[in-house]
Amino acid sequence: MLLAGALMLALAAAALAEPPADAAPPEPIRGGTLTVGLPYDIDTLNVYSTAELGDVEAAVVEGLLVPDEHARYVPALATEVPTPQNGGIQLTGGGTAMRVVYHLRPGVKWHDGVAFTSADVKFTWETVRDPRFLAESKDGSQDVTSIDTPDDLTVVVNYRAISPAFASTLFTFGILPRHLLEGHDLNHDVYNQKPVGTGPFKVSEFRRGQYVVLDRNPFYWRRDERGGSLPYIDRVIFKIIPSSNTLGALIRAGEVLLAPRIPYMLAKQLQGARNIELVSGPSLGWIHLDFGLRPESRLRDPVLRRAIAQAVNRAALVKAAGGYPQPIGSPIVPLLEALHDASPEASAPAYDPDAANQALDAAGYRRGADGYRSKDGVSLNFWITTRSGEIDGEIGEQIIMAELKAIGIRVSADNKTGIAYREARYHGDFDLLYTRWVTAADPVYSVFYGSHGPLNGQGYASAQLDAALERMETSIEPAPRRDAASEVQRILAHDLPAVPLLNMVSIAAKTRRLKNFTINPTNMTDFAGIARWYLEPPAGSVP
């Protein structure tokens, strides 16, 4: 699963999480077909193998826990979220390791009617960690030393160390059906086309490059407040629409009733369109400008990095994005209330081009006749990279290029796509990178900024930050965790390996007839909540 390495949730937050009680909503309507437009071609429907976010999978496959619309974990196939208070988390090995106990929901059945048990949970771990299984995401599978299943409804997971992030990994991604997959080669199994889960919908048809049809699971375990069966909707069709212009046209024509995570540019175009509602919700994603800190790079000069940070006007970026995203100064976004530090010392410098110009003058970067600065005969000339074809990123990049030109720095675009982009990003083959991370509720920042972070392609290394990150990411107590997070933000604001710019907002375009829809800010996608959505019949139709 995309960016899975970064997805974590604080135990403290999880401990508070209980399913929210709805206040007397209108009687939901049953039936109907929901047509969804997805912008990417689906590679596989196996949550562990796919390189995309699992929109379809979230309606089909369930984990033991699931993040809700407030990015808090709530129970799914487990009956409660394990915490130290309820005895679900126990320290072992003299306080160096831990054990997590899940109690499973009784009476849950797979789509084929076979009972779901603790053996499926253990099988999932064994399958995912098996080196022969070629998975995109194996997060968390190495942290577990063994799993005991004392009975059909109890799972005891023994961890190698204290792992506050346990809830965001394999047992949340999804559970695999042992009775269908044991002894199979999961790399080439039909499961990847037609996964069998315990979720509200089951896969009826998957046509590559075209669509996936899901039909209601009549045996779904979850009930609504009135004790009625869920889900309300009968059928969901995911259409694959690779062009965002076409997606816009399909939404206008009513051929697509819901499009999650649409580009800001498309949202701008759809504002005020008839029968269409734009729903925005917080996202844990943030957009940032990264510096490539190769040994020979001039960007290793902190004066230069600071000046660049001061030259970027976040208000202009927000405006270009239709006014949707929010400016930020720290990678720990405000939505993460337990960790976010709003003080100025924990925030990257604000927009101040005059200060940037003065600092560059003072540091000896002199302007030439052409307006561009140079020092020691070398002019300030950089490349900026973003993922080509992503309209929002390309527009933001243009704005940054213009703003840096204003302080005498020449920047040219060097955009890439697919593997070429990945290569540049993770191997530090860039000067400036305009990019984003999307995470779940409590990201592990060592993967991005730790000296040996696997996603740290910048070449940034700070022993001080490593120590602060270590404290933040191995603590399960709220107060020391918050202090460590604050120190992390201060070091990042001082060192400026990257400039945090915008907190993304997730926007979905949907028909007004779709009710109970909520944005899920995590990488588990909006479809984690699909069981409660319902469709009002079109105006003028006979019920």
Partner 1 sequence: MSLQFLLRRLLGMVPLLLGISLLLFVIIHLAPGGPLDAYVDNPSVTKEALEQIKVAYGLDQPLPVQYLKWVKSMAQGVWGYSIRSGRPVTQEIAERLPATLLLGGTSLALSMALALPIGVVTAALRRTAWDHVLTFLSFAGISIPVFWLALMMQLLFAISLGWLPVAGYETIGAGGLTDRLAHLAMPAVVLSLATVAAWSRYLRASMVDALGQDYVRTAYAKGHSATGVLIKHALRNALLPVVTVVSMEMAGLISGAVITETVFAWPGIGRLFVESMDGRDYPVLMGLMMMGSAALVFSNLAADIVYALIDPRIRYD
Pick the stretch among 60-68, 81-89, 188-196, 326-334 that binds partner 1 (CB under 8 A).
188-196
Contact 171, 127 (CB under 8 A): no
Of 87, 228, 418, 538, the one binding partner 1 by CB under 8 A: 418
CB of 321 to partner 1, least distance (A): 22
Distances (CA, A) of 329 to 289, 481, 500: 11, 20, 5
Contact 504, 435 (CB under 8 A): no
Collect all residues with Cβ–Cβ distance below 8 Å to 403 and sequence separation of at least 6. 311, 312, 313, 316, 353
Pick the stretch among 195-203, 209-217, 363-371, 525-533 that binds partner 1 (CB under 8 A).
209-217
Of 140, 174, 285, 443, the one binding partner 1 by CB under 8 A: 140
Total site size for partner 1, rule CB under 8 A: 51
Q: Is 423 in the site for partner 1 (CB under 8 A)?
A: yes
Pick the stretch among 294-302, 414-422, 458-466, 495-503 that binds partner 1 (CB under 8 A).
414-422
CB of 132 to partner 1, least distance (A): 7
Burial (Cβ within 10 Å: 0-12, 13-18, ≥19) of residue 224: middle
CB of 385 to partner 1, least distance (A): 13
Q: Is 43 in the site for partner 1 (CB under 8 A)?
A: yes
Q: Given the complex with partner 1, which of 193 and 297 has the nearer CB atom?
A: 193
Pick the stretch among 160-168, 391-399, 421-429, 483-491 that binds partner 1 (CB under 8 A).
421-429
CA 60 to CA 64: how far, in whole Å?
14
Dihedral, CA of residue 496, residue 366, residue 398 and residue 352, to nearest 10: 60
Q: Given the complex with partner 1, which of 7 and 153 has the nearer CB atom?
A: 7
Q: Is 294 in the site for partner 1 (CB under 8 A)?
A: no
> How do 378-379 and 73-75 pair as beta strands?
unpaired
CB of 535 to partner 1, least distance (A): 17
- Give Cα 538 distance to the centre of its chain: 33
Of 150, 319, 426, 538, the one binding partner 1 by CB under 8 A: 426
CA 168 to CA 147: how far, in whole Å?
17
Type of residue at 179: H
> How do 201-207 and 235-240 pair as beta strands?
unpaired
CA 280 to CA 60: how far, in whole Å?
24
Q: Is 249 in the site for partner 1 (CB under 8 A)?
A: yes
Q: Is 417 in the site for partner 1 (CB under 8 A)?
A: yes
CB of 204 to partner 1, least distance (A): 10
Structure tokens at 255: 């051929």
User: Which residues contact partner 1 (rule: CB under 8 A)?
Assistant: 5, 41, 43-44, 49, 51, 131-132, 134-142, 187-188, 192-193, 207-211, 213, 237, 239-243, 245-246, 249-250, 252-253, 255, 417-420, 422-424, 426, 447, 454-455
